Amino acid sequence: MSDIPQYHLVINGESCAPASGEYADVINPATGEVVGSAAMGGAADVDQAVAAARAAFNQREWREMPPAERSRLLYQCAQLVLANAQELIGLEISCSGATLNRASNLDIPAVADLWMNLAEAVKVYPFVEAQSPRPLPEQWHSQVWKEPVGVCGLITAWNFPLLLYSWKVGPALAAGNTIVIKPSEMTPTSSIRLTEILQEVLPPGVLNIVNGDGPSVGDAMTLHPDIDKISFTGSTRVGKIVQTNCATTMKRCTLELGGKGPGIVLPDADLDMVAQGSLWAVYMNAGQACESGTRLLVHEDVYDELLEKLAARSAEVVVGNPADPATGVGPMSTEAHFHKVMGYIETGVAEGARIVCGGEPAEVPGCEGGFYVQPTVLADVTNDMRVAREEIFGPVLAVIRYRTEEEALALANDSDYGLSAGIWTTDLIKAQRLARDLRAGSVWINDWHMMRTDAPFGGYKQSGYGRELGRYSIDSYVETKSVSMSFERVPQKKAMQRIVHTKMA
């Protein structure tokens, strides 16, 4: 018998094999080795998971749990994440190529913080709000109730499996929904394991996981008549399919899609800070983050000086085995993705960009089977090139020259995407003015990735819609109901009814 660990589906509180009996290898992108075997679900498994989630939703106990009790449960989820941190970190590294540094210092603390934040948010969330009373004697009074949407289908991507999982599962649970989640079939192990762990505190059927690919499990979910809401993180291409499928049953839908984050460098900026910060912006998770700063728009007066600093700092970045704490940049998630990123670098050069540093596959001793790309800076990029317009999703920075602020703003906004944008300057008044004109869901001034678990995150334009994180994320998982009570018991005094009953005394 093989000693490769198996990862199953979790339906109605039980781990189970998929109806097809099929399992697929999970590959460690750092080495190319098989690190797990994960159940590949299909439409029949989705049906079962949805039925379990619907039954759990119909049991009033879960959806009507008082906020204080739900808050305690969300705290317990945070504690379970922390208690199992080492195992989850190991799985995150081996399935997705996350660096040890990132998984331990960013992902796990942020995941635990997110659950704790929701535990606080749920206590004060306005599940019931009274409308302001009218002058007395009032004929009727109205309240606004926020109710769980129902069964939520959550679909996540491979770049931050545990974070994306928590961004969706946390608020969906906080609002009282039940869940069927599909992780990316490329990185399912940490999400499956966390689902198993959370069963300890959740009633059966509340949280189900069905791993599988997009065309089988993804489509089965987005077209399923008994799923009420879909929340999706992934490519804009698939986001459009998801939105179209959701329309068939008018499912609620939240989409967190790609980005092409522009950073505007004003001539007064501290160039050392920009060089370090803009490389953090693009190289975090080897560039495989939707909010990465991938286009750097640099004023002509400081263009050459900044390029020199970028090249020098970029060369210092340590590419290596993600499990090594000294590693700053790990591998591309898959071999196919590695080739895609290398292809973009070639395309950039063919279109007239100049490689200032990097541009080649990176050699990592001991990880010869891995998929590594050298941190790469491309100069002389213009905004019409593919490397400036399309999401490369690798450690590749496109540097674009501009002359005036108006031109910089126009270039920044000249994109199908609108997820993140940034400004590097010492003039914070000017920064606020520019921030107002940038068409992006997050604007960062003099740093990047400044995401908080209690601040909203999401896109403008083709970067999607809806907001995740904090109490705003609970808004995405509730329906709004207006409830009005009439106090007047004398029919003749119900003023509006005179519109029909015109003969009333």
**Active-site residue set:** 256, 290
How far apart are the C-alpha atoms of 388 and 295, rounded to whole Å?
7
Task: Assess 335 for contact with ligand TXE (CB under 6 A).
Answer: no
Q: Which of residues 72-131 bind ligand TXE (CB under 6 A)?
A: none
How far apart are the C-alpha atoms of 501 and 234, rounded to whole Å?
56
SS (H, E, C) 395-406: CEEEEEEECCHH
Whats the size of the chain, residue-wise?
505
Stretch that binds ligand TXE, among 38-46, 59-67, 100-108, 212-220 (CB under 6 A): 212-220
How far apart are the C-alpha atoms of 417 and 412, rounded to whole Å?
10
Task: Assess 218 for contact with ligand TXE (CB under 6 A).
Answer: yes
Stretch that binds ligand TXE, among 106-114, 209-217, 260-268, 444-452 (CB under 6 A): 209-217
**Gyration radius of the chain's alpha carbons:** 25
If we measure between CA atoms, which residue out of 182, 134, 135, 140 comes closest to residue 161? 182
Stretch that binds ligand TXE, among 52-60, 196-204, 213-221, 472-480 (CB under 6 A): 213-221
Residue from the set 118, 242, 317, 377 that interacts with ligand TXE by CB under 6 A = 242
Residue 395 three-state SS: coil
In the numeric block, which tokens belong to residue 305?
A: 């000086």
Stretch that binds ligand TXE, among 42-50, 254-262, 343-351, 486-494 (CB under 6 A): 254-262
Residue 483 three-state SS: strand
Which CB sits closer to ligand TXE, 7 or 62? Answer: 7
CA dihedral 292, 295, 298, 304 (to 10 degrees): 100
Q: Applying CB under 6 A, what is the total number of residues that bind ligand TXE? A: 26
How far apart are the C-alpha atoms of 196 and 7, rounded to whole Å?
10
**Minimum gap (Å) between residue 340 Cβ and ligand TXE:** 6
**Minimum gap (Å) between residue 165 Cβ and ligand TXE:** 11
How far apart are the C-alpha atoms of 210 and 221, rounded to whole Å?
10
If we measure between CA atoms, which residue out of 42, 247, 59, 248 comes closest to residue 150? 59
- Amino acid 282 reads V
Task: Assess 257 for contact with ligand TXE (CB under 6 A).
Answer: yes
Q: Which of residues 137-156 bind ligand TXE (CB under 6 A)?
A: 155-156
Give the other-Cβ count within 10 Å of 133's Cβ: 9
Task: Assess 393 for contact with ligand TXE (CB under 6 A).
Answer: yes
Stretch that binds ligand TXE, among 65-73, 104-112, 210-218, 424-432 (CB under 6 A): 210-218
Pairing of strands 261-265, 420-424: parallel
Which CB sits closer to ligand TXE, 63 or 224? Answer: 224
Which CB sits closer to ligand TXE, 98 or 408? Answer: 98
- Identify any residues that bridge with 140 across adjacent strands, giving them in sequence order: 486
Give the other-Cβ count within 10 Å of 203's Cβ: 16
Contacts of 365 (CB under 8 A, 6+ apart): none
Residue from the set 18, 214, 320, 370 that interacts with ligand TXE by CB under 6 A = 214
**Minimum gap (Å) between residue 159 Cβ and ligand TXE:** 5
**Minimum gap (Å) between residue 395 Cβ and ligand TXE:** 13
**Minimum gap (Å) between residue 251 Cβ and ligand TXE:** 12
**Minimum gap (Å) between residue 334 Cβ and ligand TXE:** 8
Residue from the set 219, 416, 454, 479 that interacts with ligand TXE by CB under 6 A = 219
If we measure between CA atoms, which residue out of 163, 171, 169 comes closest to residue 187? 163
Which CB sits closer to ligand TXE, 99 or 425? Answer: 99
How far apart are the C-alpha atoms of 219 and 429, rounded to whole Å?
47
Which CB sits closer to ligand TXE, 339 or 481? Answer: 339
Residue 147 three-state SS: strand
Which CB sits closer to ligand TXE, 393 or 477? Answer: 393
Q: Which of residues 222-241 bind ligand TXE (CB under 6 A)?
A: 222, 233-235, 238, 241
Which CB sits closer to ligand TXE, 71 or 187? Answer: 187
Q: Which of residues 284-323 bind ligand TXE (CB under 6 A)?
A: 290
Interface mask toward ligand TXE for 165-204; x: CB under 6 A: -----------------x-xx-------------------
**Minimum gap (Å) between residue 348 Cβ and ligand TXE:** 15
**Main-chain phi, psi angles of 224, to 5 degrees:** -65, 130
Could you list the beta-strand ranges (E) of 284-363: 293-299, 354-357
| Residue 151 near residue 133 (C-beta atoms within 8 A) | no
| Residue 216 near residue 442 (C-beta atoms within 8 A) | no
State the residue for tokens 């190529």.
97
* Contact residues for ligand TXE, defined by CB under 6 A: 155-159, 182, 184-185, 213-215, 218-219, 222, 233-235, 238, 241-242, 256-258, 290, 391, 393
